[in-house]
C-alpha cells in the first residue's frame, strides 16, 4: 500500500468524475491504494464531490468495510451474522480474538493480522465462515485457528 499522496488521490477521484453515486467507488479505490481511507483524503473527496467533510466521514464510519487506519498485512473477516452465530460462530470468534490478542477491528502488535467483523459472506450453509485476504473459508473449527495462524506467519 502506498503512503498518502494527494496527487494520487486526485487521480483516483478523477477516474470517477461526473458519475452518479461516485462516493462509494472513490472510497473503495482510495482504500485499495492506501490500505485505508486516510484522514487527509476526506476533505479532498468532499471538495471534489461538493459534499461536506461530515458527509464523507459519515459514510466511511458507517460502512464496516472502510477503515480509517491501516490494516495488518493480512485481514481476517469473521462472519457475525445469525446463521454463523447459530453454529457457534461467536464462541469461535472469541477464540480467534483471544488467540491473536486483539479486539474487533484490532491489529496484532507486529502488524501481521487485523481481525474485522462482517455480517454475512453468503456461506450460510457452511458456517461459521470467514474471509482471509479476500478468500472465503467455510466450516471453521477450532483447528482453523491454528491453520490461519500458520498461514499469516
Residue 79 annotated as lining a ligand binding site: yes
C-alpha cell at 124: 450460510
**Closest to 56 measured CA to CA, from 48, 113, 64, 118:** 48
Residue 65 annotated as lining a ligand binding site: no
Conformational region of residue 68, where left means phi above 0, alpha means psi within -120 to 50, and beta covers everything else:
alpha
Note whether 63 and 29 are within 8 A (CB).
no
Residue 45 annotated as lining a ligand binding site: no
**C-beta neighbour count of 127 within 10 angstroms:** 23
Query: Which residues line the annotated binding site?
Result: 79, 84, 120, 124
Query: Which residues line the annotated binding site for [2Fe-2S] cluster?
Result: 79, 84, 120, 124
Amino acid at each position: 500500500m502506498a503512503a498518502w499522496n494527494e496527487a494520487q488521490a486526485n487521480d483516483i477521484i478523477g477516474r470517477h468524475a461526473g458519475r452518479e453515486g461516485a462516493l462509494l467507488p472513490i472510497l473503495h479505490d482510495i482504500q485499495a491504494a492506501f490500505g485505508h481511507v486516510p484522514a487527509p483524503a476526506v476533505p479532498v473527496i468532499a471538495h471534489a464531490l461538493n459534499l461536506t467533510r461530515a458527509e464523507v466521514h459519515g459514510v466511511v464510519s458507517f460502512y464496516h468495510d472502510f477503515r480509517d487506519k491501516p490494516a495488518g498485512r493480512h485481514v481476517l473477516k469473521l462472519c457475525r451474522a445469525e446463521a454463523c452465530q447459530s453454529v457457534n460462530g461467536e464462541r469461535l470468534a472469541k477464540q480467534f480474538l483471544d488467540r491473536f490478542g486483539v479486539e474487533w477491528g484490532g491489529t496484532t502488535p507486529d502488524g501481521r493480522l487485523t481481525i474485522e467483523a462482517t455480517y454475512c459472506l453468503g456461506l450460510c450453509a457452511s458456517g461459521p465462515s470467514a474471509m482471509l485476504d479476500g478468500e472465503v473459508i467455510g466450516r471453521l473449527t477450532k483447528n482453523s485457528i491454528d491453520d490461519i495462524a500458520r498461514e499469516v506467519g
